[in-house]
């Protein structure tokens, strides 16, 4: 599934069937006439964009969106034939390449629109035009609107297929900014005739803030992560947080114990000797590190699952290695499968522990981590070792 060779005892399992179920579940939530734009930028947040795109059928998914030209081209070159939306921004030379590959531009402002209009002297272009309804990042602002309308009117070969905007804080239902953005967008977009609008990301879509007929741009929810700002439980003993609005997680990040040793009390573990054993301890080493995207902020902070039980990360996370304390899991063995992310270790937990959001936790999982279909454990070596509780999952 990825370019990495497949012999590492550290891997990400991607459940393609669960992804397809998540697509169905999102589509089922949409109002009449609304359709899904699947956002698979940044290699589908580290999940493997090509494999996920292959699961997207035209009846369910109207378009696939990416951020970079390279990402759209990777999908086209892999034979993905669905309409592609490139959020951009793009330079003038990139625009021509995108058009050659039937990629729709998500033009983000007057500068890019100017480039698009120049290209449209020689060929037909259809674009989605982004408005800034309040986020202050990309999009045409209110003061630029008049000039933008003039540019569109004087470029007969440029067609506006859609007008769109992006919410700054839809993950927080109590922020009035989202409603203000909707009102501002309706007011601004009335000046640009277009057959289609799209505003909602995962959070807005899961909250049902979608007008009939509007498309939605959903990334995170397709991966089964929680798009709203709800506090995750950091252990199985904590009560679950507020009403969660999430589907099935589709990624499990696994590794194996590759070293298991007994250390006496008072022994240092890892760089900087930031951990010292307080008792005679069993310390296991895992072949994964921050170069794989296992965040160094999980040093003396993260937890992993061994034989269905939580084991703490002790000492610093190294580039290629992580040490965990399995003293309280006496049946832990050399070769045991270990879950870094998946089952009760949620992406929301890792995000909370590392002071970031789920999007970033996923994006950090590097291309060095090979991806396998989720049923791999049924076969070969993975059937003989590891976490019994996961077998039935």
Ligand X SMILES: *Cc1c(COP(=O)(O)O)cnc(C)c1O
For the segment 224-243, give every residue that binds ligand X (CB under 6 A).
227
For the segment 160-199, give every residue that binds ligand X (CB under 6 A).
166
89 binds ligand X (CB under 6 A): no
201 binds ligand X (CB under 6 A): yes
307 binds ligand X (CB under 6 A): no
Rounded to 5 degrees, φ, ψ at 388 are -60, -35
Pick the piece of the chain touching ligand X (CB under 6 A) from 2-10, 217-225, 234-242, 314-322.
217-225
Pick the piece of the chain touching ligand X (CB under 6 A) from 24-32, 69-77, 139-147, 211-219.
211-219
69 binds ligand X (CB under 6 A): no
- Choosing from 56, 87, 245, 351, the residue that interacts with ligand X (CB under 6 A) is 87
- Choosing from 103, 218, 298, 326, the residue that interacts with ligand X (CB under 6 A) is 218
- Choosing from 85, 163, 188, 217, the residue that interacts with ligand X (CB under 6 A) is 217
Shortest reach from residue 342's CB to ligand X, in Å: 19
219 binds ligand X (CB under 6 A): yes
Active site residue 41: yes
For the segment 281-300, give every residue that binds ligand X (CB under 6 A).
none
Burial class (CB in 10 A: 0-12, 13-18, 19+), 278: exposed
- List the catalytic residue out of 54, 60, 184, 271: 271
- Choosing from 188, 220, 306, 363, the residue that interacts with ligand X (CB under 6 A) is 220
**Which one, 221 or 323, has the nearer CB to ligand X?**
221
39 binds ligand X (CB under 6 A): yes
**Which one, 94 or 327, has the nearer CB to ligand X?**
94
- List the catalytic residue out of 41, 164, 197, 290: 41
- Given the rule CB under 6 A, which residues bind ligand X? 39, 41, 87, 166, 201-202, 217-220, 227
Positions annotated as catalytic residues are 41, 271
């Amino acid at each position: 599934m990825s370019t990495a060779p497949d012999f590492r005892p550290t891997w990400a399992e991607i459940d393609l069937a669960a992804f397809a179920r998540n697509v169905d579940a999102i589509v089922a939530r949409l109002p009449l006439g609304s359709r899904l734009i699947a956002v698979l930028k940044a290699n589908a947040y580290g999940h493997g964009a090509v494999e996920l795109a292959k699961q997207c059928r035209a009846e369910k998914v109207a378009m696939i969106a990416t951020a970079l030209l390279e990402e759209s081209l990777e999908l086209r070159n892999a034979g993905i034939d669905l309409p592609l939306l490139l959020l951009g921004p793009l330079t003038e030379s990139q625009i021509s390449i995108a058009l050659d590959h039937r990629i729709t531009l998500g033009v983000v402002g007057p500068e890019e629109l100017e480039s698009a209009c120049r290209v449209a002297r020689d060929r037909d272009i259809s674009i989605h035009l982004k408005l800034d309804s309040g986020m202050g990042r990309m999009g045409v602002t209110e003061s630029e609107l008049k000039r933008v309308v003039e540019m569109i009117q004087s470029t007969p070969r440029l067609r506006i297929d859609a007008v769109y905007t992006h919410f700054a804080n839809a993950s927080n239902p109590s922020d009035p900014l989202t409603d203000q953005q909707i009102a501002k967008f309706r007011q601004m977009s009335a000046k640009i005739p277009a057959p289609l609008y799209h505003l909602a990301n995962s959070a807005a879509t899961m909250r049902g803030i979608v007008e009939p007929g509007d498309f939605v741009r959903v990334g995170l929810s397709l991966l089964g992560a929680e798009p709203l700002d709800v506090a995750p439980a950091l252990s199985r003993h904590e009560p679950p947080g507020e009403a969660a609005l999430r589907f099935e997680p589709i990624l499990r990040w696994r590794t194996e114990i590759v070293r298991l040793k007994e250390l006496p009390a008072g022994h240092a573990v890892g760089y900087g000797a930031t951990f010292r054993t307080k008792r005679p301890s069993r310390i296991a080493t895992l072949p994964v590190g921050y170069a794989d995207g296992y965040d160094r902020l999980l040093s003396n902070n993260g937890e992993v699952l061994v034989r269905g039980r939580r084991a703490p990360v002790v000492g610093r996370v190294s580039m290629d290695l992580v040490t965990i304390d399995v003293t309280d899991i006496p049946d832990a063995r050399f070769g045991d499968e270990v879950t870094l992310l998946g089952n009760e270790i949620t992406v929301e937990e890792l995000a909370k522990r590392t002071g970031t959001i789920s999007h970033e936790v996923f994006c950090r999982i590097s291309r060095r981590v090979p991806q396998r279909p989720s049923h791999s454990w049924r076969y070969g070596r993975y059937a003989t070792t590891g976490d019994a509780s996961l077998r039935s999952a």
